[in-house]
Structures are given as structure tokens and as C-alpha cells.
Chain A
């Protein structure tokens, strides 16, 4: 991708004032609210960001067997991910018949050797090859079956089970794109001995707010105590000690990715006990932790077991390793609307009682019917409604600029916005009115 290494936006191309306005000398960082409301900016984001970034499609554990497939919308386009029967490779195809356009994968998920378009019955195998055309002779000898194979998304790569696709053939390799986020994915995967899987059941909800508000919210340590008061009350009711509070740091992981790493009062299935898990689970969790120390040493094991991470992989993937592991992606549909899809991830073959505890832990906080997520939904929609009120042009994202970064500061959001500004180029300038 050309944008990654390009110098900061060339003002010569641009007119107007910068929508991301940074002034370190005065500890000022502000973002113009038109970035959240303008249809033109939304349209340019789809072109300049979503067509050029690696976007999360799904996890390899969702297509374990040859012929397994799942449908996914990425950046508003219907695609499907399938494990080839012959090659064992995970493909991501545009979900459209190469003949006249109908979708060829019509079930949400399943297993198939062939995908037949119902319209004219053209048939493709799980590697995408065109295998059957009814009344073949009508086309003469020159019909090019190879050229009429299902179209793969320009680039498809996976990192330790996380499958990404990109519409830009010239994008850098996925591992380079992930930059510092790689190590944080490793941390989760290694804590489960390398085998993670997506648990059955998907949270598919929607927020009537700009997608970037969820980027900010997903790595916002400042809002936890105020917005999620009832969740902390719930923990207290269960007997959790809130004394330590939420304490940690934020880190710029490069390429717009950022992470919060912190200690928090809640328990972790791997491997920090809390009253919610029950007395009987204490020994088990102690053993899990000891096992991590033996395998990874005290320091890395402590990060795996004791600390939490909220990570944003730019532009729209959130991997949270908190009271449970959640993988969440979101797609902008309009300046003021996004669709969110979230999954829970767990060690493959986890013992039933551990799995039950993990599921329990997830539902106490997460999900569109959880004890916290609905309040984030409300916060984001409330911001969007507030923007429409006008009068105030800028959002203030300067928290922590005057001190050494803390976990509840906003440096990680500034990381996001700088990358956004760089990718948007001339579109990151507004007109002077």
C-alpha cells in the first residue's frame, strides 16, 4: 500500500483547514465533527480506507473441514470464505456468479463441494473453478473456464488463524501491516497453546452512529468508570474487590493500531480468579496460571494471566482480551450508521466447566444484551445526536498530552486519527466557511 510510507499529507493537494488539528506545543488535539457526519467524507473513507486496508473476514476455525464455508459482508460487499476441498486453502471469493451476477453462496454457512448459481446453473467448485455450464455447446469451443472462475478478493492472507482480505492488490503483506499488533495476537493465541476457535453464536447488532466512534470507544479507558457504573456494581454484588481499579498504559502499535494494556478488578478465564468463578475454580485457575509460567516465564505469563488488553487493529477490527476474548468488526453503512459483528474466541477443546465460566464472564459485560455494551451503544448514538445539534465544531481528544500517557488518556485515539488523516489525504481537509 502506497499510503503507509508516504510522508504526511501534502498540503499542496488539499484545500481548506485540517480536520485533524494537532498542536503539541499547546497540548491541543481536536477532530472536526464533520468527520462524523459528512456524506462526502463517508464516501471518501470507503474509497481511501476500506479499499486499501486489510479487513478481517473470519477465523480459520469457522471453516475447519474441506468445503466448509461462511458468508460475510466486508466493507458492505457480500463475500464468502471457503476451505478448498482439494487444496485445503482458505479462499475468500466475491459472492457473485461470473456469468450474470447472482450470488452463488446463498446459505449463511455450511459445507459444500460445489456452489451452483441457481439462475442458470453454472457450477463452481470449492477452489472457485468453473466446472459446469448447462448447454455448453451454445458457447462454442472458446469458452475460457479459467477466466470465468469465481473471483477471489485481490489479496487474502491469514495470521495464526485470523483471515484478512484486501481489495488492493498492491497492499503490503499482512504481517507487515499488523506491525506491533502481531505480538498482541500472539499473546492471546499462545496463552491457549496455539489453538483458538470461534464459539458458535454471533452477535450481529447495529449502532446508529459513525463507525469511528466505535474505534474510539473500543480503546477508551476514560469512559469505563462513568459509563459502566452498573457493571462495576454487579462485580461488587458478586464479591469482587474494586480497590485496585483499572490501571495501565496505552501503546501505539504502528499503522494506526493501538492497544490498552491494564490491570482490572474482573476475573479472567486464563487465568485470574474472581468470586464469580466460584470457590471450586480456585485450584483449577491456579494450575492454569502455573502452567503458563512454566511455558512462558513469569513475565509473559503474568501478562497473559493478569492483564487485559483492548486492541484496535486499524481500521475496524477490535480484539479484546478482557473478561473473555472477543473479536469484533464493524462496517460503516452511512455516516451515522454501522453494523457490528462480534464473536467470542476460546481455546479449542476447552474443558466444559472452563468454557461455561468463560461464556458467563463474557455475558456479564459484553454483547448487545450484556450489562455494559448497550450503554456504549447509547453513548455513541448520543454523540451522533449531539453532533447534529451543531454550534460546537470540534471534538477534543487531547487528554494526557500534558503528561506521560496513561491507560485512561487519549493517546491511542490520536494514533488512530493520525493514520486516518494520512490515509484520507486531501479528503482530510475541510472547507473554510
Chain B
């Protein structure tokens, strides 16, 4: 049997296909398969979380919570996979919920997608949550859907209810 190369056309991609992709991403995070999750990203990736008080924060001039390029995100994954990321060893149980998925236009071969998220985090008898909206730019790389950039904008006015942000949203 010859391997078929999956091909995805951003212009004809429906919402349910995008939802399937985002659900797969959420499942990988909940399973703590961070290498599998990292593999969903395209080259020249970006993963950004602005500060709660600056939802429009620009990582090139403002302080943000996370501004990862490929190297930093890879090291973040390595860190979380090690037993030395003390805040996440042992790992939290998480539940990444994705909804209100809206497809935007395709520009420069990038599909913009926004989706609401609620991420529950349970650890040491404590439960905390992160609520906000993801802004994705999806691309096709080697015939597969990939994440070029992911920006998670938190709706909570402060991070305090959740304490810190050692997990991935």
C-alpha cells in the first residue's frame, strides 16, 4: 500500500475540520504528550500570552507572560517533561475546553481562527481555571494543518485566581 500524502486546502477547510484539529491539540495537552503537541506547530512558530491587564500587549514592546519562539517553546516543553519543573512535577491534571470556534479569512496562506477556551487545572487538592480566547494562525506544511502562531488572551482581570501559569494553555 502506498502512503497517501494528506492534503489540506485552507480555502475549503470547514469549521468542523478545524475543531477536530483543535480538539486533538487539547487532548495532547491533557495527556501531557507535549512532544506530540509541539509537533503540531509549523516552522517560525510563535506562542504568546499577554498579561491580564494588557490583552492587546505587543511582545516587542510590552511585558507579556509568554513570548515563545521555536527555541523557547522547545525548551519550555523539555522543562515540563523533566522532573525539575517543580511547579509542574507532579503534573497537574488539566482539561482544555475549546468552543465558540470562528474561522476568519485566509491571508498569506494563513487561516485565522479564534476560539474560546476554559482550561481547568487540578493539583494538590486545588482547582483553578484560565478563561479566554485563542487567536490562531494555521498554515499547511507538508500537506498537514499546522499552527504558525497561537495567542492566548486571558479574560480574567488578574492571574491571581489561578496563582501562576506554569502549564500550557
| Interface residues, chain A, with chain B CB atoms under 8 Å away | 108, 199-208, 227, 229-230, 233-234, 237-238, 339, 343-344, 352, 355-356, 359-360, 362-364, 367-369, 371, 373-375, 377-379, 382, 385
Contact = CB atoms under 8 A, between A and B. Distances in A.
A54 B138 CA distance: 51
Main secondary structure of the interface of A (DSSP, over half): helix
A203 B163 contact: no
A374 B60 contact: no
Interface of B: 49-54, 57, 59-67, 71-72, 75-76, 78-79, 82, 84-88, 124, 126, 157-161, 163-166
A368 B84 contact: no
Contact of B64 (A201, A339, A355): A201
Contacts of A237: 71, 75
Given A203-B51, A343-B63, A355-B61, A377 B163 contact: yes
Contacts of A364: 72
A201 B85 CA distance: 25
Q: Which 9 A-B pairs have the closest CB atoms?
A: A201-B63, A374-B87, A374-B166, A369-B165, A368-B164, A201-B51, A206-B160, A378-B87, A204-B158
Nearest to A379: B86
A236 B157 CA distance: 36
B157 to A, nearest CB: 8
B61 A200 contact: yes
A161 to B, nearest CB: 18
A356 B163 contact: no
Contact of A352 (B60, B82, B85, B159): B60
Contacts of B62: 199-201, 359
Given A230-B79, A368-B165, A375-B87, A202 B63 contact: yes
A108 B86 contact: no
A375 B85 contact: yes
Given A352-B61, A367-B65, A378-B86, A205 B160 contact: yes
A203 B63 contact: yes
